[in-house]
Amino acid sequence: MKSFLSFFGIGLFLGILFIKSEVASWFRIYEMFQFKSFHMYGIIGSAIALGIIIVKYLKHSQAKGFWGKEINIMPKEKGFTRYILGGIIFGLGWALAGACPGPMFVLIGTMLPSIIVLILGALLGTFVFGILKDKLPH
């Protein structure tokens, strides 16, 4: 229950944040890809800048997690093709749908049936990737 509530609580906070910062708005994504506003760049940029300091600190101090949990900061697997091709496909969808996976769930709160279609599309895309995985260049 403690575990459920803490993760649910983080999600709740994140959901409000995705809406109040408007990163879940299709319009903001379009504006970003037109380079017409600093808003999205400021959000992603400042999150990364502070994130780098946080990760450096956690690694350097060898800090423990809450409740004595082990901290795991995993490096990404090396590679190029899968990252660039997967990235391009993701980017096409991000711009078209105006939502990445986090915002996709937050938009359920609009109560628009189209969001269900969007999420079903994402699940279908994930499923088809699973089928084709071994045939794709990595």
Verify binding: residue 72, another protein, rule CB under 8 A.
Answer: yes
Verify binding: residue 62, another protein, rule CB under 8 A.
Answer: no
Residue 88 vs residues 74, 100, 107, 120: alpha-carbon distances, Å: 23, 13, 23, 21
Q: Is 102:14 a contact under the CB 8 Å cutoff? A: yes
Verify binding: residue 2, another protein, rule CB under 8 A.
Answer: no
Show the binding pattern over residues 4-33: x = contacts another protein (CB under 8 A), - = does not: x-xxxxxxxxxxxxxxxxxxxxxxxxxxxx
Q: How far is the CB of 35 from another protein (least distance, A)?
A: 9
Phi-psi region of 62 (alpha: psi -120 to 50; beta: other; left: phi over 0): left
Verify binding: residue 61, another protein, rule CB under 8 A.
Answer: no
Sole binder of another protein in the list 61, 62, 70, 135 (CB under 8 A): 70
Instruction: Rank residues 60 and 73 by Cβ distance to another protein and give the closer one.
Output: 73
Verify binding: residue 135, another protein, rule CB under 8 A.
Answer: no
Residue 2 vs residues 41, 63, 116: alpha-carbon distances, Å: 35, 22, 30
Verify binding: residue 60, another protein, rule CB under 8 A.
Answer: no
In one-letter notation, the amino acid at residue 78 is K
Verify binding: residue 69, another protein, rule CB under 8 A.
Answer: yes
Q: How far is the CB of 60 from another protein (least distance, A)?
A: 13
Sole binder of another protein in the list 60, 61, 62, 78 (CB under 8 A): 78
Place of tokens 């993701």: 90
- Residue 17 neighbours by CB distance under 10 Å: 14
Place of tokens 């575990």: 3
